[in-house]
Amino acid sequence: MDMDTTPALYGTPASAGPGPTTMPAPSPSAHIPSFESHPSATAGQSAAAAAAAASSTGAAQSRPCDICRQRKTRCVREEGRDKCVMCSFHGQPCTYLRGPLPRKRRKATDPPEQRPSTNGSVSAPAGPPPAPVPLDPQEEITHPSPELLEALSPSLAGSEHAVTFHQPSLLDGTLGLHLKTHSEYVGNTNYREPSLLDLHRPHDPAIRSVRRLDESTVFLIHRDRETSSEPQRIADLDAIEKVVHPLGSTLVNLYFRIVHPSFPVLHKKVFLEKYARSYHEFSPPLLAAVYLLALDWSLYDRTLATSSWQPDQTALEALALRTMSDDMKRPKISTLQAGLLIQQRFRNNTWTFTAQLIALAQGLGLHVDCSDWAIPDWEKGLRRRLAWALFMQDKWGALVHGRPSHIRLDEDWDVRPCCIEDFPENAADEEHDPEGSAEVVVGRELFLRQIELSLILSDVLGTFYTAKATRRGGTLDQIGTVGVAELAKPIVMMLREWYAKLPEALQLQETRLKKLSANVRNISSTAPPELRAAIRTGARSRLAAASTMISNLQMEHIQSFWGFAASAQLAGIGSFAGLLWATSDDDTEAMYYADRVEEYLWSLRVRAQAAPFAREALRMLESDVSGLGAVRAAAEVKM
């Protein structure tokens, strides 16, 4: 959702901060405060006078626009553009009609623990520092920026008499989101006993510390080895940005228009605010993955569609994969976010990578309930969205690759279901989005319904496709066809209920439900004739429904974001049709299914140019499934 787009989340400068900055976006040399401390300075009467003079003579381009002033966000305008980054993204007019907001006066007396000493510095509190107060990313944060103080009084900005404030950060109280640290979940059977860790005092707290989140949950916080990792991270980010420059911000906006609504593994507001400051605030594989996915929809942005130059996707892919490997040595939430996005782009041979991501997520504690943890609520929502996105990746990956699932739902998965409160965006965030954007509310509903469908798929895999169930003499052989049909009934009912509850926005008109069927095994002749006839009749209707659904897909559907399993799912429909042909009872039935196979392959061909997943499904069917294109010829020979 570092990965929510969250390698480092900081407070947003107040409206009194510097105005729009004309520079390439985002600037790698922009001031990037560390998350430990944020030095700044305050000005006296002379500074106030300078500010008054600046406000009376400054042009519109030297102050924040009305929207950024109202939101109290940093106003950044790219070189050669009339609008700032935030107004361009939301499609709002970028105006300079309003004056500065009235400032709140400081109270005459300061709290004892913050009262300035005689030498001009703030005295530290006598007791231990208070615990950081978690901030919601929707809250506005105001504080003087170093650039403003330097503009007001350069002599005071670098003076030894400057007053130092702690600037609140969105990172306060978070876990696994810091740019320069990574966390490690201490499991129940780990040799590190949590009770003893509470008593442990590390030799060097700057390298490792212990954090308890509730009575039974403890994490080790490790500092990244900056001498080796930080310079390489910056160099990788510069290389990634060089590949897409000057189209980086355009690709980011395109990603959040199309991909993010239905695959919300990032935090949109935090990502955009960080990107407006500097791309150096991200992990390299995450930034590269966002750029790569956005490039798939380049025709939906006028700048990209009309540009004679396009970023080198091959170079970007190589950087994404290499930096992902490096990032997994210091796993953070951003590492998992990047991995999930990369898997949506690289759809083949991802099963081993999925296993790595699951192990990484377990190390971050995403497989356990975080409801009672001492972390901000917005991070809890992000963790749940990430956990369920990984759950879906595992279940559909198991189906696509024909492998056992890595996640055992009833034993080692204790994640609360996602709810509306776990999604930070709402309909108000999309009212100014341009054409071609996915709706936030529809995307959220799609994500929630996909989770429900994946839970049903988990039951299907656990009931019919385990090694014990499918082996010779296993469960399915023991209960026979009649028993298998009985096992399928409750799953069929769950599918019907799931479909009946779909909101209208997610229903495809003029199509019937494509229901899953457990009957992919050849039915023996010992099955009762009436049961065999019922199963084959049901299979025939399911194939017709699935084929009709594909043929009814409009361009609005095809050009939306489709997950990594889409091509394998379409190939599965064709394989199912081929199986029905191969098990036909007579020549008439065989010819019927041969015609259906031909029709289905034609549907894929006419959509292959516009839909990469349809093109890949066609390749899989014609090269990996014994050439379904020869089905009709074989049927004619058989007759």
Strand, helix or coil for residue 345:
helix
If you search the block for the tokens 């005295």, which residue do you land on?
A: 123
pLDDT at 404: 93
Q: What is the dihedral of CA 474, 479, 485, 490, to 10 degrees?
A: -80
Question: Rounded to the nearest 5°, which phi and psi values hold at 235?
Answer: -65, -40
pLDDT at 201: 58
pTM for this prediction: 0.61
The answer to whether residues 277 and 17 touch, using CB atoms and an 8 Å cutoff, is no
pLDDT digits (tens, 9 = 90+) for 411-458: 889 999 999 999 987 765 654 555 555 678 888 999 999 999 999 999
pLDDT at 20: 43
pLDDT at 159: 39
pLDDT at 126: 44
In angstroms, what CA-CA distances link 316 with 53, 240, 243, 323, 564?
48, 7, 7, 11, 19
Structure tokens, 369: 């309930």
Nearest to 265 by CA among 341, 328, 332, 335: 341
Structure tokens, 132: 């950081």
Residue type at position 244: V
CA 27 to CA 8: how far, in whole Å?
16
Can you list the residues of the chain whose pLDDT is less than 50?
Answer: 1-25, 27-59, 107-166, 227, 431, 510-524
